[in-house]
Structure 1
Amino acid sequence: MAQRGPRIAIKRWLGLTAALALLGCGETLPPATKPVPRPEVAAQPAPEPKPETPASAAARAYYAEVQRGLLGQGLLRTDGGGADTPFTDRMLADNFIRIALYDEYARSSGSTVQRQTVSALRRWQQPVRVGLRFGDSVSAQMRATDTARVGSYLQRLQGLTGHPIRLDDNRPNFWIYVVSEDERAGLGPVLQAAMPGLTANDVSGITAMQRSTYCIVYAQSSGASGNYTGAFAVIRAEHPDLLRLSCLHEEIAQGLGLPNDSPQARPSIFNDDEEFALLTTQDEKMLQMLYNPALRPGMTESEARPIVETLARRLMGGES
């Protein structure tokens, strides 16, 4: 079984968000004296793509084979779940607790260590303004496709959560970079400007991203409040179509506050088994729960569980 690329990314992000909250990082938008460098953006005319480098060509061939292998095993489903993937209100509540209130990786200044740790509920309080960026290697067709898909997906997420989420190139607080191998290696200054407080290890998690990591997202909280103030996702431009779309679905959803994985969560993209490529019916319900006003950022499991169980029953039709 191939190692779950997006899950590795999320694990790195989990440790990062928890640690940054403890460090008391505030607003993540860069100060006026240190603007975020701005590569070509989706709304502008795309230049002719640069010639593909050997590293990028090798990555493209590798991930094409990864997608073929997963599809050959009946994985990367796009149906959202069905009769073969039933779940109950109890399963929904337990899966939400595990995914929203636990971290899978612990972060230090020099390393990221896999270790399940109790966390607190985290989500956005301010509107989520997504800035979609493309490297010069990305074709005009891919830019148009990804921009349309992200815009449609954000509308879906806004409808589920009731929280303002939109594409906004003027003042983004959630950056998404679709870049090649070589372009990703040069993202250090952009990343550090967008998300102050990152360590050299954090930056290298993106600039020297391992092949087994398909995509990655970092997020910052304001102090210990659990309020997200910024996020930064990187998607490999070399991914074939479905794998790239899967990364977009997962990284954006996780950047909203569902950071962990659970092998019990089915149907779900928050599971290492690669069964589902796109947001599922259970994932939708977890996002609805996450942004329900009955919950609040910073809640612990003991505080949140009774509310989560009530919400799960209602969403599954157990209560009016």
Structure 2
Amino acid sequence: MRTYIKGAFGALAGLALAGCMSPTPPSGGSGGVERNLGGGEVTARTIALPSALPPMKAFSGTHISRPTRSNSLIAGDFIDLAFRLESGRQLPVLSRFEGPVTLRVAGGAPAYMASDLNRLMSRLRIEAGINIRQVPSNQTASINLQIVPKRELQRQVPHAACFVAPNVSSWGEYKAARGTGQMDWTQIRQRTRMSIFLPGGVSPQELRDCLHEEVAQALGPVNDLYRLHDSVFNDDNFHTVLTGFDMLILRAYYAPELKSGMSRGEVAARLPALLARLNPAGGGGAPRMTPPSPTAWKQAIVTALGHGNAMTRRQSAAKRAVAIAKQQGWNDTRMAFSLFAMGRLTLTRDSKNAFAAFREAERIYRARPETALQAAHMGVQLAAYSLSAGRAEEAVAIVNTHLGPVKRAENAALLATLLMIKAEALDHAGRGTEAQLVRLDSLGWARYGFGSNAQVGARLKEIAAISPG
């Protein structure tokens, strides 16, 4: 299940600075006086959306990277992913589809989804070795994709952006079977029918992100682990398309050495030789199990992310998550994510410490090449802060540092946001011609990342309001 964590903290939700200043100027003028983070005043500027936007941009090639950790650690990750649900419940056996897998798309899907779905299916065949193909919408299929109006979907599952359900073929079947034993993952010995429910009326990127995570979960793991820095199977939602690690996990899931109904012990016994065959660079050895994240830390993160909670409670929970991470001696993605959450939630009250948290999170993420994408999410906050303070060249330098990883991760919304900040900084530095070209580039990516012209225009205005006059 893909959650709305990104809506709480990610670049898609708006810059952290938006909480400190009005996103639009006062009515009746082209600019207004806003208070910046240092307590002084800056003149906010706005920028009009062009009457004709450039064509939507989309990624055509995927950067494939192999996991860098040992196979013994990957084996431990596999076991935790395959034999546990997100709720913490244990799964007694491995379950997967046996034989060829078919997929159908029910009516009502937007035309632009076809290209992303075709690319995903091709990657699954090539990188994961899964025999999967699409069939016409009027045929029965192993996996059923259905678009559901966003409000209706969230009425049923409030915190889900999209989700997968077992043993049903339609939205109607899901609603009828919800809460019954038919939907119990712990009772499944072999997968035969799965349905994926996607939200209607969202941006092309949001739909693609849902496709990647939910198709992967329909085929394989239905668990998420915060410790995984290179995977969509992580509730921090930084990765939005399937990674090399994810494809290795799926390839192992469908390897001939494994089959549906195997116990945890049977799978663990076969994993060392299996992973050595699939990923020779990872070496051998028995599965090394990583201690689970403490329940108190996970509860603190869930509370911090929960939109239904009071802001003071969320802020306290984020600080508690940081404190627990320090007590655990973590210097990994869980510590960085805790700092990110605290920075986002305390920015309007304590901008100095909030940005210190962003910088520390960025330091942790930048220490490893594998977490360059996560560092870019910190970078967008830091670049916006530099822009608001009038340090245009610093903002440009920060943006340039992060563009490569964001492009490789195929995150158009984050890419568009970084480019918009860069364009504003170039304007502020008196480099208007460069700014115009960069802004034009950002709009093509924004159409894919944000969707409607109104959302693209809102992001432009938000960033223009950050820039000094």
Give the TM-score normalised by structure 2: 0.42
In 2: Cα distance, 1:98 partner to 1:133 partner:
33
Structure 2 runs not aligned, ≥5 long: 18-60, 168-181, 285-469
Q: Kindly indicate whether structure 1 or structure 2 has the higher relative contact order, using CA contacts under 8 Å at least 6 residues apart.
A: 1
Per-residue deviation, residues 124-146 of structure 1 (Å, max 9, x unmatched) = 014222111243xx6xxxx2221
In 1: Cα distance, 2:252 partner to 2:198 partner:
27
- Secondary structure in 1 matching 2:193: strand
Aligned pairs for 1:155-304 (under 5 A) are 155-169=122-136, 170-181=139-150, 185=152, 206=153, 208-220=155-167, 226-304=189-267
In 2: Cα distance, 1:158 partner to 1:213 partner:
28
- Secondary structure in 2 matching 1:227: coil
In 1: Cα distance, 2:239 partner to 2:196 partner:
20
Residue type matched to 2:81 in 1? I
Per-residue deviation, residues 154-179 of structure 1 (Å, max 9, x unmatched) = 12212334332111022323111123
Per-residue deviation, residues 208-262 of structure 1 (Å, max 9, x unmatched) = 3344210011123999672211011111123222222111000001000211111
CA contact under 8 A between 2:3 and 2:159: conserved in structure 1? Answer: no
In 1: Cα distance, 2:62 partner to 2:191 partner:
30
RMSD of equivalent CA atoms: 3.5
CA contact under 8 A between 1:219 and 1:232: conserved in structure 2? Answer: yes
Residue type matched to 1:6 in 2? R
Q: Which residue of 1 aligns with 2:2?
A: 6
Residue type matched to 1:257 in 2? G
Per-residue deviation, residues 279-309 of structure 1 (Å, max 9, x unmatched) = 0010010011000000111111111112112
Q: Which residue of 1 aligns with 2:90?
A: 117
Residue type matched to 1:125 in 2? E
Residue type matched to 1:88 in 2? S
Per-residue deviation, residues 1-54 of structure 1 (Å, max 9, x unmatched) = xxxx6159xxxxxxxxxxxxxxxxxxxxxxxxxxxxxxxxxxxxxxxxxxxxxx
1:102 aligns with 2:84: yes
Return the offset for 1:207: 7.2
In 1: Cα distance, 2:10 partner to 2:158 partner:
11
Return the offset for 1:94: 1.0
1:132 aligns with 2:105: yes
Return the offset for 1:93: 0.9
Closer, same or farther: CA 304–70 of 1 in aligned 2, 3 Å: farther
Per-residue deviation, residues 38-96 of structure 1 (Å, max 9, x unmatched) = xxxxxxxxxxxxxxxxxxxxxxxx969965238989xxxx976869x742212211111
CA contact under 8 A between 1:150 and 1:248: conserved in structure 2? Answer: yes
Q: Which residue of 1 aligns with 2:69?
A: 87
Give the TM-score normalised by structure 1: 0.60
- Secondary structure in 1 matching 2:146: strand
- Secondary structure in 1 matching 2:248: helix
Q: Which residue of 1 aligns with 2:276?
A: 313
Aligned residue pairs total 222
Closer, same or farther: CA 215–71 of 1 in aligned 2, 3 Å: farther
In 1: Cα distance, 2:63 partner to 2:82 partner:
20
Residue type matched to 2:77 in 1? N
Closer, same or farther: CA 218–210 of 1 in aligned 2, 3 Å: closer
CA contact under 8 A between 2:226 and 2:235: conserved in structure 1? Answer: yes
More strand per residue: 1
In 1: Cα distance, 2:213 partner to 2:115 partner:
17
Structure 1 runs not aligned, ≥5 long: 9-61, 105-113, 186-205
Residue type matched to 2:143 in 1? F
In 1: Cα distance, 2:82 partner to 2:3 partner:
14
Residue identity (%)? 23
